[in-house]
């Protein structure tokens, strides 16, 4: 198990370094950062002064190493637009995005796993078709359109929940549904496929032959094995949710890290964009790493393959 953990940890570090290098290069290749600071109408002398002041004239590898070494110590630079430390900006807003992400993935799991189990227990039945219909609809509906529809119905017409803000727990209801429903189809289909495979296995038939109740066979024996790939998928979806919360936070005016990402992109705030890409990537890699460890703990066969 220790060797498996070390291998996965080494892979996670390698992926993190690769992502940081690529994101740093792409953002600088998108345009001249000196022009982004000075403005499109700035004269050449001003641009040259900013280039020298910020060290943009240094080799790319030197700039990257300087940025990475500071980021490792918690210094993510200074925001060009807000004129505040990027670490402070993100720390003030990250809790909103994290709260939304955990609520959304919890909503998706609570909705998708029971639907997947029910669909697998009665394949090709009305329950199965209803679950597949919900799955197809969830994939077909754009999140921004779904969010606007929920605002019109539940906020404007019925007045049940607020349409914007992040000061109260009620502000997270509609964003949680929108973001969680995005992950529901994939989790539901994977749960259904896993349960169908497990329910047809020999040890399940043996458990039923011993006279175990249907509930014990499903939830104690079948679901434990079927849910292993769901854990990995949930970790991936959680990473997608944190990175993809930009649209949802913009629709519902949740001033989290996702909304900060939109602000930094629209205002060419390069240090903030770099820091957010790095942080979202770290979350994605960390969740995937933890999912691999949990899967290996639940299924020892994975340790051999890893």
pLDDT in tens, 107-129: 988 888 888 888 888 888 888 88
Confidence bin at 2 (pLDDT 50/70/90): low
117-121, 154-158, 223-227: range with lowest mean pLDDT = 223-227
- Residue 293 CA to residue 272 CA, distance in Å, equals 32
- Specify whether the CB–CB gap between 191 and 230 falls below 8 A: yes
- Specify whether the CB–CB gap between 28 and 60 falls below 8 A: yes
Within a domain: 41: no
Within a domain: 129: yes
- Report the predicted TM-score, pTM, of the whole model to 2 decimal places: 0.77
End-to-end CA distance of the chain: 10
- Specify whether the CB–CB gap between 168 and 204 falls below 8 A: no
- Closest-CA residue to 112 (of 131, 136, 133): 131
Is the predicted pLDDT of residue 164 greater than 80, yes or no?
no
pLDDT of residue 70: 83
Within a domain: 55: no
Within a domain: 40: no
pLDDT of residue 306: 53
CA dihedral for 11, 14, 20, 21, sign (positive or negative): negative
Within a domain: 251: yes
Within a domain: 274: yes
Confidence bin at 305 (pLDDT 50/70/90): low
Distance of CA 93 to the CA centre of its chain: 16
pLDDT of residue 182: 82
Residue scoring higher pLDDT (4 or 16): 16
Within a domain: 259: yes
Q: What is the pLDDT of residues 247-256, one digit of tens each?
A: 888 888 888 8
Structural domain count of the chain: 1
Is the predicted pLDDT of residue 204 greater than 80, yes or no?
no
Within a domain: 39: no
CATH of residue 189's domain is 1.10.3720.10
For 278-290, b where at least 16 C-beta lie within 10 A, e where not — what string?
bbbbebbbebbbe
Query: Domain span at residue 160?
Result: 86-305
The mean pLDDT of 35-41, rounded to a whole number, is 70
- Closest-CA residue to 280 (of 20, 66, 7): 20
- The greatest distance separating any two alpha carbons of the chain, rounded to the nearest whole angstrom, comes to 85
């Amino acid at each position: 198990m220790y060797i498996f953990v070390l291998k996965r940890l080494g892979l996670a570090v390698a992926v993190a370094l690769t992502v940081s290098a690529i994101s740093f290069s792409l953002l600088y290749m998108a345009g001249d950062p000196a022009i982004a600071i000075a403005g499109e109408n700035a004269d050449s002398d001003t641009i040259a002064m900013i280039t020298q002041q910020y060290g943009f004239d240094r080799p790319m590898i030197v700039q990257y190493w300087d940025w990475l070494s500071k980021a490792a110590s918690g210094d993510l630079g200074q925001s060009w637009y807000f004129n505040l430390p990027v670490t402070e900006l993100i720390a003030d807003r990250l809790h909103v995005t994290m709260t939304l992400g955990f609520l959304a993935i919890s909503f998706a799991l609570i909705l998708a796993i029971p639907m997947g189990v029910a669909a697998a227990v009665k394949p090709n039945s009305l329950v199965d078709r209803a679950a597949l219909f919900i799955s197809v609809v969830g994939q077909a509906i754009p999140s921004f359109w779904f969010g606007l529809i929920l605002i019109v119905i539940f906020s404007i017409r019925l007045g049940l929940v607020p349409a914007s803000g992040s000061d109260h727990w009620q502000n997270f209801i509609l964003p949680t549904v929108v973001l969680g429903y995005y992950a529901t189809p994939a989790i539901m289909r994977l749960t259904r496929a896993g349960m169908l495979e497990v329910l047809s296995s020999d040890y399940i038939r043996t458990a039923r032959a011993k006279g175990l109740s249907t509930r014990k066979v499903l939830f104690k024996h079948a679901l434990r094995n079927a849910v292993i790939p769901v854990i990995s998928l949930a970790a991936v979806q959680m990473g997608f949710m944190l990175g993809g919360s930009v649209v949802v936070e913009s629709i519902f005016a949740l001033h989290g890290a996702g909304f900060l990402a939109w602000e930094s992109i629209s205002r060419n705030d390069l240090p903030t964009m770099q820091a957010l890409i790095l942080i979202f990537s770290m979350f994605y890699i960390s969740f995937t790493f933890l999912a691999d460890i949990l899967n290996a703990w639940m299924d020892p066969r994975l340790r051999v393959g890893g």
